[in-house]
Amino acid sequence: MPSVPLATTATLALVAALASCAPRPVRPEGGADSATDAAVDVIDDRPRFDRDNDGLCDDTETEVTRTDPDDVDTDNDGYIDSFEYNYGLAPNSATSPTSERVLQWSEAPGEPFDYVFSFTFRGNGQGVFGLFYESAAGIDGVRGEELGLRIEALTAVPPSNAPDIAGERFVSVLGMTRLSFRISGQWPARAPLTCRRAYVLYPSAYAEEVGLVYLRPFFLDVRGSTAPLDAGAPTDASDADASDGATLDAGPPAPWPHQRDGFCLPRPGFCR
């Protein structure tokens, strides 16, 4: 048998390697309607389908989360399956997250938001200041600070333990004191998405010379203001804007191009 030249062998190996990485989105019976609904895992070269476009691939839902690949919100608790999975919640349990960790808001321009959190701290003259942050942008690309929220030191009990307040800071805390902070704001005037989504908000407080003294995650549940929750319809992303981000200066179109059953959904074609 004649030998194959080294250069030819290398070329054949390269072609074989490239072929093994090429996507082969063979659509199964009853699969999604457009090619954008399938993503290919380049590691094992499997087509990844997401029939309900909730951001979780069908095989993830059937093999890992045990959720319904045809339902964006399997447990009907108001949070899409991928959001719950990404933040360590149980997407097939209606009691996750628990109600005390949910903060409600509406996207109607000017809609007020007001939340007070409290904790007990034994001070030795330290200043204690509050802040909040979010772990990631919401589904629309808007981060918590862009929502116009602000935090302020509110009350101390007993008041004599922390008589001086400056903005978000108790200037000096002495003894065992119940400290309260308020997070407030109004929904910014921007194009409504007309669908429901959630953000993760982390109210926290720091004490000088001590560090973090309070931290608890909450889920900011934002309701669409111009459409009922069940009025959304599946949207073909093939003719939609390719960008899934948004800023306050240039809001996304209304209604949100990717929604179903009243929920804002990730841009189809990408799932995990």
pLDDT band at 224 (very low <50, low <70, confident <90, very high): confident
Q: What is the pLDDT of residues 5-24, one digit of tens each?
A: 333 344 334 333 333 333 33
For domain 102-223, the CATH class is: mainly beta
Looking at residue 136, what is its pLDDT?
A: 66
Residue 33 clears pLDDT 50, i.e. is over it: no
| Higher per-residue confidence, 180 vs 138 | 180
**How is the chain split into domains, by residue range?**
30-97, 102-223
| For range 233-260, the mean pLDDT | 52
Residue 42 clears pLDDT 80, i.e. is over it: no
Q: What is the pLDDT of residues 132-153, one digit of tens each?
A: 887 766 777 776 667 788 999 9
Q: Residue 223 corresponds to which tokens in the numbers above?
A: 């309701």
Q: What is the pLDDT of residues 110-122, one digit of tens each?
A: 889 999 999 999 9
Q: What is the pLDDT of residues 70-128, one digit of tens each?
A: 999 999 999 999 999 988 899 999 999 999 999 999 888 888 999 999 999 999 999 99
Looking at residue 102, what is its pLDDT?
A: 92
Residue 166 clears pLDDT 70, i.e. is over it: yes
Q: Model's pTM, two decimal places?
A: 0.70
Looking at residue 20, what is its pLDDT?
A: 32
Residue 163 clears pLDDT 60, i.e. is over it: yes
